[in-house]
Amino acid sequence: MRAWQVATLGEPVEALRLVEVDEPVPAAGELRVRVLAAGIGLPDALLCRGTYAFRPPLPFVPGQEVCGVVVEVGVGVDDPALAPGARVMGVTCFPDGRGGFADVTVLDAANAFRVPDAMPALEAASFRIGFSTAWTALVRRATVAPDETVVVLGAAGGSGLAAVQLAHALGARVIAVASGAEKLARCTEAGADVVVDRAEASVPDEVLAATEGRGADVVFDPVGGPLADSLLAAMAPRGRFLAVGFASGRWVEAPTARLVGRNVSLLGVLAAGWDREDDLAAHEQLLALSGRGALGLAPTPVPFADLPAALTDVAVGRTVGKLVLDVHPDAGA
């Protein structure tokens, strides 16, 4: 099969090589899946660099998220929704190097979820990580209530747009933070009530102005760094700051005294680690919102041969919204 493989660590255009390798074999509890489309995200660039939390042994295939068709199930997989021929979306076994930037990949059955018949593969390949992370942050961790104010940093990226859409669907007032007119327009389309250009204005000042001095009830932060640090001064009493990621290169730094002063909570967010029943229930609620048109990232397709350049664009912040690798366009991805 074709696969994009990281043979040496570095920037995506240097690290990735298109190779022919044997198809992976599913172990007990796993699925072998023919990939239709694969989401492209910043973590994939960090995997290429060797700076992500997981560091598979070289050489390895990156690619965290896919939509595909089950072709074989391992021992112990007896869920009819995951039987051969079923379309599934989910997270690959990328931590051990069996990622999704290939014709065929492997998913743990616990990380595979059904794809509605009406959902295109490109959309499904961009759905699971972004919206399950947003759900974990806004529903499971912050319990966002209608009419609360949610600030989303990095709002024009894949995870940011998912958070903007879900917060809007939950009835929150959304302040989206991004850079540049094109990105801000995309945030408005996704449901943001207020947009702030981080390159042109003080984000804490704009948040305080938009909330008449009260501050944000919730901050969704996939960025970290100085921008995230600065938002701690613009939190409402009993606010919840959601540490989601560190696209800037480091996590938010939140001195305890600053949190205590207004009863602000710093909450870590990880979509993994919940039980299967809870994950399935959350997935169905997200699909219901998608079916009503409230959720959906309308990703940009990328030809299979163009992955290194596309991943470079994601890594340096040139992209708007979500990119998806169109692995088998002939299959209706």
What is residue 322's predicted lDDT score, i.e. its pLDDT?
92
User: Which residues in 202-220 are b (16+ Cβ under 10 Å) and which e?
Assistant: ebbebbbebbeeebbbbbb
Helix axes 158-169, 181-190, angle to 10 degrees: 30
Give the C-alpha distances (Å, rounded to integers) separating 100 from 35, 41, 95, 135, 171: 7, 12, 11, 23, 35
CB 264 within 8 A of CB 286: no
Give the C-alpha distances (Å, rounded to integers) separating 176 from 56, 99, 329: 34, 31, 33
Give the C-alpha distances (Å, rounded to integers) separating 163 from 24, 95, 153: 34, 25, 9
What is residue 333's predicted lDDT score, i.e. its pLDDT?
54
Nearest Cα residue to 94 out of 60, 123, 71: 60
What is residue 247's predicted lDDT score, i.e. its pLDDT?
87
Bridge pairing between strands 235-243 and 173-178: unpaired
Question: Residue 27 is encoded by which pair of tokens?
Answer: 């172990």
- DSSP 3-state of 83: coil
Q: What is the pLDDT along the chain (333 residues), one digit of tens a residue?
A: 999 999 999 999 999 999 999 999 999 999 999 999 999 999 999 999 998 888 999 999 999 999 999 999 999 999 999 999 999 999 999 999 999 999 999 999 999 999 999 999 999 999 999 999 999 999 999 999 999 999 999 999 889 999 999 999 999 999 999 999 999 999 999 999 999 999 999 999 999 999 999 999 999 999 999 999 999 999 999 999 999 999 888 999 999 998 999 999 999 999 988 999 999 999 999 999 999 999 998 999 999 999 999 999 999 888 888 999 999 986 655
| Residue 98 parent element (H or E) | none
